[in-house]
Each structure stands twice: as structure tokens, then as C-alpha cells.
Structure 1
Amino acid sequence: MTGVVHPLKLASLLLQYPDGDLLHARGELAAAAEGLGPGPQADAIRAFTRWATGIEPAELQARYVETFDFSRRASLYLTYHTLGDRRQRGMALLALKQRYAAAGLDPAQSTGELPDYLPMLLEFAALEPEPGLAALARHREALELLRAALHAEDSPWAPLLDAVVLPLPGLTRDQLTRIRELAAAGPPEEEVGLEPFAPPATMPGVG
């Protein structure tokens, strides 16, 4: 990893499961974070990389699984937060896939992930900032729900969500109301299966 790395590209990598390749690259990722320069977004990313480089690999992996795989409220699949496993979610996933295709990208082909997987959206925003940030903004409520869940658990990954939302427009009062309603109720309960997509195994102020 050479040169200045887009902060959302770094966030994309740091929010993925720390497999062997990412564990091996921890020092390089931390160095890239240090090279971002001043600013709250860079500071938030550095807060995570400084923690992640000081923890044993096995513990880092275990903490990741505990954080993201065992809690519905910390799902990295954004449409799940607002639509659960209802039929509407399949349409939302299709819309995201079409956004990628319009930009000439097909990230799911190489990763096998659903289109709403947050690291995939962040990679999109790093490669194609205008449509990518617009796609993230469309899922702002889900981002805030995930962000709030991580902060509630005092998770070391929480600063990465702070970094993700910083370049997005401020929240409207309607969005804040919706976030509070969803936070109280949790993801909508399953009504029907998703086809052709399979489901994945401190409140903010008004901007």
C-alpha cells in the first residue's frame, strides 16, 4: 500500500474480518492512517489502528466476531437495520447493485458479499466519491444505528463509524425520529425470504 490512501478505503479494510492478509498488513494500514494528516476523520481512523496494532491477532479476531457476528444491531449489512429480512430488502439490494453497475463496478463478483455490506459501500465511495457518498447518505439511518450500537458497547470499532459519517450531510429531524424508532424496535422481523439475495448469517443529534 503506497501513497496516500483514501480514508474510506482504509475504513473499508479495517471493518472487514481481520484474516491472515489483513493481520499481516496491520502495520502498513496503521502507517497509512498516520499519513492521512490532521482532521477529525483521520483522528477517528487512527484511534482504531493504534488499538488494533497493540492487540494479539487471535484476540482481535475474537473481538471482531463477538462484535459483528453475534449482534443483530451491529450488522455490517446496512439494509438489514431498516428493512430486516422483508421483501423490500431484496429491492433495496438490487438498487445498490445497479448503482455499482452504473459506475462500472461489480464488487460482489470478487467478494461474494451482499451489495449492502458496509466495507463494499466504503470501497465504492473511495473509488467513485460522488455516487458512493450518495449511496452512503441513502443509508444514513442504518449507519447511525450501527454507530450507536458500537458506541453503546464502547467498541474499538466505533470510531471507524464516526469517520464514515463525517463526510455525509447532517441528519434531518425526520431521520432522527426514524432512527430513534428503529433503535427502540430493532430490525423489522422476518416476513418472507429474500430472493435472489440471501440474508447475512447515545443517539446522534440533528445536523
Structure 2
Amino acid sequence: MPGEDAEILRRFCDAVVDLPERELAALYREAFACGDRLSLSLSSRGGVGAAHDPAISPVRWERLYRLHGWRSPVGEAPDFLPSVLEFTACRPVPGRLAMEAYLGRLDLLRVSLSQRQSPYADVLAAVCTALRRPPHTPRSVSTARRRRLN
């Protein structure tokens, strides 16, 4: 992960690293289980941006996963953001293309979390920053590797 994204995530980690498990769980519930349309389910009608039709339904996420040899974790919706991020980390091209359709929703979630002064806003900021950056192509990755070796 490039420096800017890593720094943004480091802020989140610094904010929560010393929290006891109960406080961390309460922080998560406060951020995402408060019933006011903040959701990590990208296609959820109750999630951020709910007035818009979902770009990819949970069924289509499952098809995308299957097409690329992936399965969503048992008990989690296929459009649950942590699952989507894991898929994208392992299958960058299809994952990124699918996630780009949700950039507006992710930004709304980031803004809402920022207004609440939630440390989770930094996690969403890192995701949004990464999605705005041009994707790595095999050629750009090859060039970057050569530069690191010199």
C-alpha cells in the first residue's frame, strides 16, 4: 500500500491500538450499528446512499466471486465491505472494477463517520484514496519493481 494510504490507516491503528476489546466493540457498534443508514453492506437498502439503486446486488457479488474462484466467508453477506476488500486484495482487477461503482457511497460513509469523529473514517478515507488512484497495470508494477531494485 502506498505511503499516503498507509499513513491514513496508521492513524486508525494508533487511535484503537490500546483500546480494550469491549471499548473497540462499542466503537464499532456506535459507528455501524446505530440504525441511521450507516452500513458496511454495500448493496443494503438501509446503507449509505440508500436512495440509489445498488450497483451490484449480493447475488451478482456471489457470481463475481465464483467467476474468480472466491467465496465470501460463511455467515457474511457477499457485499459486506470487509469481504469485498479481501476479495479485492486477492483479485485486484475485478475487485477494483466492482468497488469503483461504490465510490460515491463509500465517500458518503466516510463523511458521515468524519462528522461523528469516528476513527473508522480513516479506514474509509484510505479505501477511497486507493480507489481514486489509477490502477496498477502489469507494466507500472514492473517499472516500480525495477526502480526499487536500482
TM-score (norm: length of structure 2): 0.77
* 1:124-175 residue CA offsets vs partner (Å, 9 max, x unmatched): 11000111111110111211111111111110111100111112137xxxxx
**Percent identity of the aligned residues?**
33
* Higher RCO by CA contacts (8 Å cutoff, separation 6 or greater): 1
Q: Partners in 1 of 2:27 and 2:16 — Cα distance?
A: 11
| Structure-2 change in CA distance of 1:83 and 1:64 (3 Å) | closer
CA contact (8 A) 2:37 2:50 kept: no
Amino acid at match of 1:100: Y
Structure 2, unpaired ranges of 5+: 134-150
Secondary structure at the counterpart of residue 78 of structure 1: coil
**Is 1:52 matched up with 2:16?**
yes
Decide whether the 8 Å contact of 2:42 with 2:80 is kept in 1: yes
Compared CA separation, residues 169 and 152, structure 1 to 2 (3 A): same
Structure 1: tracts of 5 or more residues without a match: 1-6, 8-37, 171-207
Q: Out of 52, 67, 77, which is 2:41 matched to?
A: 77
- Contact 1:78–1:139 (CA<8 Å) still a contact in 2? yes
The one-letter amino acid paired with 2:66 is A
Match of 1:151 among 108, 114, 139: 114
1:99 to 57, 60, 64: 64
Over 4 Å off, 4+ runs: none
TM-score, length basis structure 1: 0.57
Mapping for residues 77-156 of structure 1, pairs under 5 Å: 77-80=41-44, 81-83=48-50, 92-107=57-72, 110-156=73-119
Count of residue pairs brought into register by the alignment: 130
Contact in 1 for aligned 2:106/2:124 (Cα 8 Å): yes
Measured at CA, do residues 139 and 59 of structure 1 come closer, stay the same or move farther in structure 2, by a change above 3 Å?
A: same
Residue 4 of structure 1 aligns with which residue? none
